[in-house]
Amino acid sequence: MKWFSHLRTINHHKWLVMKYCFACGLYRQGLLHDLSKYSWTEFSVGAKYYQGNRSPNNAEREAKGYTSAWLHHKGRNKHHLEYWIDYGLNPEEGIVGMEMPVKYVVEMFCDRIAASKNYNPDTYQDRSPLEYYQRGKNKYPMHPNTRALLEQLLTMLAEEGEERTFSYIRHELLKRNK
């Protein structure tokens, strides 16, 4: 019944992200978050490689050398920084991170909190998403403005908690960036 456990995991993750997006005022994004996880391309892989304590994409990557589910997912969900990776305007730049619209950075922030709580429910603290980010932050090209905003939000969460951070996002950040 790995498929059922996987379904429960993605439903719980989606519920958490929806709750956090709603707290920030992003109702549409909260409702539509990660719907591609229910497609056969992503769900079948997630069910097959489900382990409960980490993303099934990592297990598929270990087994096959790539993950079809992740390739499908990141190309359809604008809250993933990988969606925004492209060739730079200057040919010498190579692959670079494009600047993400603020509403997708906020959804990515909510997604990171939910993932941390989903995979580490017993040890989660408000600093957990920041610590996870810091372990891998130099592995991906990210636009400097996107990186600065994500780091600001993760740091605020770690130092001031969810309530203050969601309030800041809703009443200050998103109002400035409409």
Contact in structure between 54 and 119 (CB atoms under 8 Å): yes
Least confident of 4-13, 20-29, 38-47, 52-61: 52-61
pTM: 0.94
Q: What integer pLDDT is reported at residue 1 of this predicted model? A: 86
pLDDT of residue 113 exceeding 90, the answer is: yes
Structure tokens at 109: 């922030």
Angle (nearest 5°) at CA 29 between 45 and 44: 10
Structure tokens at 30: 């909260």
Cα(88)–Cα(98) distance, integer angstroms:
8
Query: Mean pLDDT throughout 131-156?
Result: 95
Instruction: Report which of 88, 85, 50, 54 is spatially closest to residue 71, judged by C-alpha positions.
Output: 85
Quickly state the pLDDT bin for 54 (edges 50, 70, 90): confident
Domain ranges of the chain: 78-176
Contact in structure between 123 and 49 (CB atoms under 8 Å): no
